[in-house]
Amino acid sequence: MKEKNIILVAVRLKSKRLNKKALLKLYNKPLILTLTERLKKSALSSEIVWCTSTNINDQPLEDLAKLNKIKIFRGSEKDVMSRFIEVGNLFKASNIIRVTGDNPLTDPNIIDYMIDKHIDKKSEYTFCNTIPVGTRSEVISLKMLEKCHNLLQDPDSTEYMTWMLNRPDYFKVQELQHPNKTINRPEISLTVDDVQDYKNVSEIYDYFEGKMPNLDKIIHFIDSKPNLLKNLTKSKISTIDKNKINYNFKNDR
Among the ranges given (73-87, 177-191, 202-216, 225-239), the one the predictor scored with the smallest mean pLDDT:
225-239
Closest Cα partner for 155 from 90, 80, 99?
A: 80
Considering only residues 240 and 85, tell me which one the structure prediction assigns the higher pLDDT.
Answer: 85
DSSP one-letter code for 54: S
Neighbours of 10 (CB within 10 A): 20
Amino acid 238: pLDDT: 58
- Rounded to whole angstroms, the Cα distance separating 210 from 232 reads 19
Q: Is the pLDDT of residue 236 over 80?
A: no
Q: 3-state DSSP call for residue 51?
A: strand
Q: Would you put residue 20 in left (φ > 0), alpha (ψ -120 to 50) or beta?
A: left
Q: 3-state DSSP call for residue 18?
A: coil
| Percent of the chain residues past pLDDT 70, beyond the cut | 95
Q: Is the pLDDT of residue 253 over 60?
A: no
* Cα Rg of the chain, angstroms: 17
Q: 154: pLDDT confidence band, cut at 50, 70 and 90?
A: confident
- Rounded to whole angstroms, the Cα distance separating 52 from 252 reads 30
Half-sphere exposure at residue 39, Cβ-oriented, CA atoms within 13 angstroms: 29
- Rounded to whole angstroms, the Cα distance separating 107 from 115 reads 13
First to last CA, the chain: 39
Q: 127: pLDDT confidence band, cut at 50, 70 and 90?
A: very high
Map out the domains of the chain as residue ranges: 5-236
- Say if residues 106 and 154 touch (Cβ distance below 8 Å): no
Q: What is the CATH number of domain 5-236?
A: 3.90.550.10
Strand partners, 5: 95
Closest Cα partner for 159 from 72, 52, 30, 59?
A: 52
- Say if residues 72 and 121 touch (Cβ distance below 8 Å): no
In tens, the pLDDT along 180-195 reads 999 999 999 999 999 9
Amino acid 241: pLDDT: 61
Q: Which residues of 129-147 are buried (b: 16+ CB within 10 A; e: fewer)?
A: eebbbbbbbbbbbbebbbe
Amino acid 1: pLDDT: 59
Amino acid 73: pLDDT: 97
Amino acid 234: pLDDT: 80
Q: Is the pLDDT of residue 243 over 70?
A: no
In tens, the pLDDT along 157-180 reads 888 888 889 999 999 999 999 999
Q: Is the pLDDT of residue 132 over 60?
A: yes
Q: Is the pLDDT of residue 99 over 60?
A: yes
In tens, the pLDDT along 3-37 reads 999 999 999 998 878 989 999 999 999 999 999 99
DSSP one-letter code for 166: -
Amino acid 92: pLDDT: 96
